[in-house]
Amino acid sequence: MPEGDTIFRAARTLQRALAGRTVTRFESVLPALTRVDADTPLRGRTIERVEARGKHLLIWFSGALVLRTHMRMHGSWHIYRPHERWRRPHHSMRIVLEAHDIHAIAFDVPVAEFATPATLERTRQIRDLGPDPLAEGFNADEAAARIRARGDSEIGDALLDQTAIAGIGNVYKSEVLFASRVNPFTTVRDLPPADVDRLVAMAVKFMRANVAEGAPAAIETYRGLRRTTGRYDPAARLWVYGRAGKPCRRCGSPISRRRQGPHARSTYWCPRCQSANETGTDAASGLGPQKNQAPPERTR
């Protein structure tokens, strides 16, 4: 599933491609969108800006209209020049947004709706969002307080709660917990406040590193781009996610995987590094040399 960094990068690319341009054509296979376009046409409106809020992508048009999309598992936005061949089949198209020399296509987007600026802020999915680690005004104290308020939840579930902290998905959940040496199945009430603070700080560190300027500007769902280890080798880019049964990059123990929470989301962790009695040490720093360690990622 695209996580907050994916959506942030998509919004940034769309912003650079579309902001200030005039819509020349709009098409959608979604009846709710076509009805709005029929009543108040998109054609002739200016695309004012594109932004991300957690996992939501917002396109703002002149005339007080906003398009909100959510990618869920398989959605993506692509940018094409006119007459350029799409990289996804036509039957996957959900929205076509054209300007004079740029076409933005949404594929397999399951959630899309128009709103006014006022109704958007009242939309539950936007109104109830927790602080976004990628937002300029991110409030780490508020995010930590919202997580601590979910005392009955396991911390792995609490990090996925978009009303506590926005944008974290399954990958970052597992990676942040490993790097902070916190067991995913510990209830929030049993975590020292300092551990929660560290988890928030680690989420900010990992997510912002993956949207830094100079990072690849692809706007599709990540395919081997996201890194938390800082290593150059694509095979060594993550600490635990997707590595069930493989040796922990820190201690060599086999990585475990278990379904967690009401939605049975996969959680990956190292039972040794993240045992319940581990002290909170940043596993992503201060590590000694490791066997077959890839060279550090180069800066450009």
Q: Are 18 and 102 in contact (CB under 8 A)?
A: yes
Sheet arrangement for strand 76-80: 25-28, 93-98, 103-107, 76-80
Among candidate residues 148, 162, 158, 150, the one with its CA nearest the CA of residue 184: 158
Within 10 Å of residue 181's Cβ, how many Cβ atoms?
A: 21
Of the residues 3, 98, 154, 175, only one is catalytic, namely: 3
Q: Are 154 and 140 in contact (CB under 8 A)?
A: no
Helix ranges restricted to H, the chain:
4-18, 31-39, 117-122, 124-127, 140-148, 155-160, 170-179, 193-209
Of the residues 2, 131, 133, 184, only one is catalytic, namely: 2
Active site residue 2: yes
Active site residue 55: yes
Of the residues 55, 98, 131, 133, only one is catalytic, namely: 55
Q: 123 exposed, middle or buried (CB, 10 Å; 0-12, 13-18, 19+)?
A: middle
Sheet arrangement for strand 65-70: 47-53, 56-61, 65-70, 111-115
Q: Which amino acid is at 129?
A: L
185 vs 182: CA distance, rounded Å: 9
Within 10 Å of residue 151's Cβ, how many Cβ atoms?
A: 12
113 vs 28: CA distance, rounded Å: 11
Q: Are 231 and 287 in contact (CB under 8 A)?
A: no
Distances (CA, A) of 91 to 80, 87, 156: 17, 12, 36
Question: Active-site residue numbers?
Answer: 2-3, 55
